[in-house]
């Protein structure tokens, strides 16, 4: 089943409802309509060029409910561009029960995954070998200031407030634990966040499950209600 604009619209509507329920807030551009996006001048080019804002994807899986992600990038830099010198990124992620990204690692990005609100987050970790394949060796990670030793493929449970640091070249998946979180229409939702070095989705991701189309084609089966972070129209003029 091809990824549809209706999936995106509904996912962002749900994300905004979950965020509001937990008394959290997005920056102003998180609430822009499509018309407000089109009117935004060049003074907002950081949003466009650093791919801030809504990001909904099924990674080409055609199975969004199980392999997919809805997130909002709050801040990010841009590698090798001195105009955007931030060395860090922050994302807010909506975690339905059992929905996850494909197993993947990053060549250079280091990230903290923090369980923020709702239920629990389950995180599965495996280190890679020199060739980028899953390693069977145990390894060390930092969890809330404590160094712990994990066996390959270990699954950690993060309760609200808890976090795990994921080094580069560490294969990972994480998802909302079944039966925990805020319920909407029979599905429970948790909110997590990612604090990391600069995110470069075009060049830094390595997926291991045969799919990993970070920005897949979309079937336009209904009117767009939101621009995704890779879809913004160019600014027409500057208001500076």
Mean pLDDT of 17-24: 98
User: Which strand (E) or helix (H) includes residue 35?
Assistant: helix 34-39
Greatest CA separation found in the chain? 56
- Confirm if 72 and 57 have CB atoms less than 8 A apart: no
- Nearest Cα neighbor of 123 from 107, 101, 149 is 101
Rounded CA separation 30/44 (Å): 13
Query: Facing residues of 69 across strands?
Result: 57
- Per-residue pLDDT of 179-206, as tens digits, reads 999 999 999 999 999 999 999 999 999 9
CA distances 64 to 48, 67, 185, Å, are 25, 5, 17
Determine contact, residues 138/151, Cβ cutoff 8 Å: yes
pLDDT of residue 209: 81
Give the C-alpha separation, 5 to 56, whole Å. Answer: 10
CA-CA distance, 76 to 88, in Å (whole number)? 6
Q: Grade residue 1 by pLDDT with cuts at 50, 70 and 90.
A: low
Mean pLDDT of 207-217: 88
pLDDT classification of 104: cutoffs 50, 70, 90: very high
Q: Give residue 240's pLDDT band: very low, low, confident or very high (50, 70, 90).
A: low
The values of phi and psi at residue 65, to 5°, are -65, -25
232 alpha-carbon distance from chain centroid: 18
DSSP codes of every residue in 63-84: -TTTB-EEEEEEE---TT-TTS
Q: What is the pLDDT of residues 35-58, one digit of tens each?
A: 999 999 999 999 999 999 999 999
Report the DSSP beta bridge partners of residue 112: 165, 195
- Is the model's pLDDT at 238 over the cut of 90? no
Alpha-carbon distance 119 to 47, whole Å? 30
pTM of the entire predicted model = 0.95
Q: Which tens digit of pLDDT belongs to each residue from 142-160?
A: 999 999 999 999 999 999 9
CB-based contact 174:120 (threshold 8 Å): no
Nearest to residue 147, comparing CAs of 133, 167, 161? 167
**Buried b / exposed e across 195-213, counting CB within 10 Å, b at 16+?**
bbbbbbbeebbebbeeebe
pLDDT at site 80: 86
Instruction: Specify the pLDDT at position 236.
Output: 78
Rg, Å, the chain Cα set: 18
Domains of the chain: 5-207 (2.60.120.10)
């Amino acid at each position: 089943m091809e990824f549809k604009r209706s999936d995106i619209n509904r996912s962002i509507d749900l994300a905004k409802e979950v965020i509001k329920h937990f008394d959290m807030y997005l920056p102003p551009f998180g609430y822009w309509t499509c018309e407000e996006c089109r009117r935004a001048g060049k003074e907002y080019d950081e949003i466009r060029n650093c791919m801030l804002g809504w990001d909904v994807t099924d990674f080409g899986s055609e199975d969004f409910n199980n392999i997919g992600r809805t997130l909002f990038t709050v801040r990010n830099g841009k590698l090798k561009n001195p105009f955007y010198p931030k060395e860090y990124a922050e994302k807010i992620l909506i975690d339905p029960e059992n929905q996850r990204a494909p197993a993947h690692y990053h060549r250079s990005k280091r990230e903290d995954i923090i369980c923020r609100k709702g239920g629990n987050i389950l995180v599965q970790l495996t280190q890679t070998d020199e060739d980028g394949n899953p390693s069977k060796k145990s390894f060390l990670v930092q969890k809330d200031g404590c160094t712990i030793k994990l066996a390959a493929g270990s699954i950690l449970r993060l309760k609200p407030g808890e976090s795990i640091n994921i080094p580069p070249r560490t294969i990972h998946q994480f998802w909302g634990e079944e039966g925990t979180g805020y319920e909407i229409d029979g599905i429970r939702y948790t909110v997590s966040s990612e604090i990391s070095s600069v995110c470069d989705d075009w060049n830094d991701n390595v997926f291991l499950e045969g799919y990993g189309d970070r920005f897949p084609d979309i079937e336009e089966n209904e009117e767009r209600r939101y621009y995704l972070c890779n879809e913004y129209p160019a600014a027409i003029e500057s208001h500076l």
